[in-house]
Amino acid sequence: MTNKLLTTFTKLATVTAATFLLGGCVIVDSDNSSSRMNQKKNIAAAADAPKNIIMVVADGMGPAYVTAYRNYMDDPNTVEVETTILDQILVGTSRTYPHQQSGFVTDSAASATAMSTGVKTYNGAIGVDINKQALETVLHRARKLGLKTGLAVTSHIVHATPASYMVANEARGNYSEIADSFYDDRINGEHLADIMLGAGWGHFLREDRNIVELFKADGYQYLDKYDQLSTIDPATPVLGLFGDASLPWALDDSDPLRLHTLTKAVVPYLAADTEDSGYFLLLEASQVDWAGHANDIASAMAEMHDLANTMEYLYDYVKNHPDTLVVLTADHSTGGLTIGAGGDYRWEPSFIKSFNKSISSMAKEIHDQANQGQYVSDSFGFELNAAEIESLSVINKDMDVRAVEAVLKSIVDKRTNTGWTTSGHTGIDVDVFAFGPGAEIFAGNQNNTDLAKKIFMLLDKAH
């Protein structure tokens, strides 16, 4: 580890320790305390300003997912539960509530807008305030300052989180309009991003407007297969769409670490020829959220594993590029995941370590299987018992896919003793992780809007 990076971590430890010494007082946030605002400004003034900023959003990843992943990765042959990369980089927490007109529980759009603009807004808003007026985002500011910009996500690139960093729209579901804005909007006469990777064929390859062809006409290299990532020319802007509405689940993808793969392609691309400028990159582990909505613990852990591998890559990258700040957080928590259920004090993630396909895929394929019990056993990676095989007898060709999924997930939840409180979002605080120059200002409890405000300050200070 370089001396500069060690210095950053020393500062971070000092700030974190100060938080605890103050008996839980918030020292880096406040929307309504001038003294705390002054403290925050003083900390920001003292912070090293990074040349490059990588913002990572793990959609739906409440604290229970971080704990579950630690247990999931535990070596059962040792007494202690080993830590993960996420434990090593934890610095604080974030409050996720939206503007008061939407209550206490946010959706992805309102939270992403708060994290990208520093302004609370209504659920469903993409880069606009409660009056539906467009807001400047940290990606916009980076572009105005001459930085290279990019994004890589496992959803379609016009989904709530990436859209809220890129454009402005009054409703997150206006995907065609948002895709149009990805092309039509300009900053300093340039497109919003140098590189965009994810999914979105259905929104960019439309009968009414072929946005892919428009980008190609403007000099963008277009990719639609993972193996084309090795052909990227750093001197050429890039649009890569590798799926329709999203990338496949990690459990179903030809590359189960696809965010990791996209990140390893996009970071060197943005770092090329940026000695004087720097870059801003948005990454999203989009499908942690979708696994939470589905109450699918196996898919959730597979998505978390992709994220963890991505963070390990970035951690090593910062060791060798100590001018880069990485911030990771969630927009909210999804599903009300509980590690243990029904008063039974156990959780057994070993049963989900050998899954070889998602429950979603199994539910679509099971009707065609001559021996459904053996098919599920082979897909789960453990042998079903007699009661579990009997539970499959309710499945028939007239059953809705979601109902089939529920049967399969019930088996997994009982085996692992996993609990869920909802299929929606919850309003709890989420974790904040950071490393690199400026990481110390993200310590402690803060509002999600403060993440944007601090990034704005760091961008302006460095550029």
pLDDT digit string, tens, across residues 173-197:
999 999 999 999 999 999 999 999 9
Residues of the chain with pLDDT under 70: 1-47, 274-276
The rounded distance, in Å, linking the Cα atoms of 252 and 420 is: 23
Q: pLDDT at position 351, please?
A: 97
Residues 198 and 287 reside in one and the same domain:
yes
* Parent domain of 317: 3-335+429-462
- Active-site residue flag, 108: yes
Q: pLDDT at position 201, please?
A: 97
Residue pLDDT, tens place only, 109-146: 999 999 999 999 999 999 999 999 999 999 999 999 99
Indicate which CATH number applies to the domain containing 142.
Answer: 3.40.720.10
Contact 454, 329 (CB under 8 A): no
Residues 444 and 306 reside in one and the same domain:
yes
Residues 312 and 368 reside in one and the same domain:
no
Residues 300 and 406 reside in one and the same domain:
no
Residue 74 covered by a domain: yes
- Which of 225, 212, 89 shows the shortest CA–CA distance to 158? 212
Residue 79 covered by a domain: yes
Residues 285 and 394 reside in one and the same domain:
no
Find the helix or strand (DSSP H, E) in which 19 lies. Answer: helix 3-21
Q: Which long-range CB contacts under 8 A does 6-13 form with residues at least 24 apart?
A: 7/48, 8/48, 8/322, 8/435, 8/436, 8/437, 8/438, 8/439, 8/440, 9/435, 9/439, 11/47, 11/439, 11/440, 12/91, 12/434, 12/435, 12/439, 12/440, 12/443
Residue 349 covered by a domain: no
Residues 43 and 146 reside in one and the same domain:
yes
Residue 179 covered by a domain: yes
Q: pLDDT at position 394, please?
A: 95
- Cα distances from 64 to residues 329, 334, 337, 352, in angstroms, run 13, 10, 6, 17
Residue 125 covered by a domain: yes
Q: pLDDT at position 123, please?
A: 98
Residues 114 and 259 reside in one and the same domain:
yes
Residues 276 and 227 reside in one and the same domain:
yes
- Which of 289, 286, 402, 284 shows the shortest CA–CA distance to 335? 289
Residues 415 and 436 reside in one and the same domain:
no
Find the helix or strand (DSSP H, E) in which 223 lies. Answer: strand 221-223
Residues 177 and 256 reside in one and the same domain:
yes
The pTM assigned to this predicted structure is 0.91
Residues 361 and 221 reside in one and the same domain:
no
Q: pLDDT at position 173, please?
A: 98
Q: pLDDT at position 24, please?
A: 34
Record the tokens describing residue 378, joined without a space: 């082979």
Contact 239, 266 (CB under 8 A): no
Residue 343 covered by a domain: no
Instruction: Please list the residues that pair with 283 across neighbouring strands.
Output: 56, 152
Residues 22 and 84 reside in one and the same domain:
yes
The rounded distance, in Å, linking the Cα atoms of 404 and 399 is: 7
Residue 132 covered by a domain: yes
**8: alpha, beta or left? (left if phi > 0; alpha if psi -120 to 50):** alpha
Catalytic residue among 30, 34, 102, 108: 108
User: What letter would DSSP give residue 50?
Assistant: P
Residue 341 covered by a domain: no
Counted domains in the chain = 2
